[in-house]
Chains A and B, each alone.
Chain A
Amino acid sequence: MDPTREEPEQGTQNSVSIERADAPIQGGALTVETLEHVRERDSHALSTFFEFYFDRVYGLAYRLLGDHASAEDVTQDVFQKVHKAAPQLDTSRDPGPWLMAITHNACRDYWRSKAFKLGRKSQSLENTEGLVETLAAPGESSDEALVREERARRVQAAIQELPEELRSVVILHDYQGLGHEEIAMMIGATHVATRKRYSRALNRLATLLKDV
Chain B
Amino acid sequence: MHGSEDPPLTPLEERVQGAVRSLPRVEADSAFRNRLRREFSTGRFEPHLRPQQPKIAGWFTWRWATMATAILLVIGFAFVNRGPDWRIMSATGSEHVLVDGKRVPLSNRAALEGALARGGHVTVPEGSELTLLSQGTLLVQAAPGTDLDLPTPPGRWLGKNMRAAVTRGEARLFTGPRFPGRRMDIGTPAGNTVITGTLVSVVTDGAFTCVCVAEGTASVGNSGTSMESVPAGMRKVMFSDKRPAALLPIEAEHASGLATLFREYGKDVGK
Residues of A bordering B, CB below 8 Å: 41, 43-44, 46-47, 49-51, 54-55, 58-59, 62-63, 68-69, 71-73, 75-76, 79-80, 82-83, 118-119, 121-123, 129-133, 148, 151-152, 155-156, 159, 170-171, 173-175, 177-180, 182, 195, 198-199, 202-203, 205-206, 209-210, 212
Contacts and interface: CB of A to CB of B under 8 A. Distances in A.
- Considering the complex of A and B, which 9 residue pairs feature the smallest CB-CB distances, nearest first? A122-B57, A130-B27, A132-B27, A174-B20, A179-B1, A46-B41, A47-B41, A62-B26, A59-B26
A175 B13 contact: no
Nearest to A41: B43
A121 B2 contact: no
A68 B19 CA distance: 21
Contact of B9 (A62, A119, A180, A202): A202
26 contacts: A41-B43, A46-B40, A47-B40, A55-B26, A62-B26, A69-B50, A71-B28, A75-B28, A80-B45, A83-B40, A83-B43, A118-B57, A122-B53, A122-B57, A129-B26, A132-B24, A133-B26, A159-B20, A173-B2, A178-B1, A195-B5, A198-B6, A202-B16, A202-B17, A206-B15, A209-B15
Which of A148, A159, A182, A206 lies at the interface centre, i.e. has the most chain B CB atoms within 10 A of its CB?
A: A206
B24 A54 contact: no
Given A54-B33, A58-B28, A156 B23 contact: yes
A205 B48 contact: no
Interface of B: 1-2, 5-7, 9-10, 12-13, 15-17, 19-21, 23-29, 32-33, 36-37, 39-43, 45, 48, 50, 53, 57-58, 61-62
Contacts of A175: 20-21, 23
A50 B19 contact: no
Given A205-B13, A206-B13, A209-B19, 7 more contacts: A47-B41, A75-B36, A80-B45, A83-B45, A174-B17, A199-B7, A212-B16
A68 B29 CA distance: 8
B108 to A, nearest CB: 56
Contacts of A43: 41-42
Contacts of B10: 206
Contacts of B20: 155, 159, 170-171, 174-175, 205
Contacts of B17: 174, 202
Contacts, number: 131
A173 to B, nearest CB: 7
Given A63-B23, A118-B57, A180 B5 contact: yes
A209 B16 contact: yes
Contact of B13 (A59, A72, A177, A202): A202
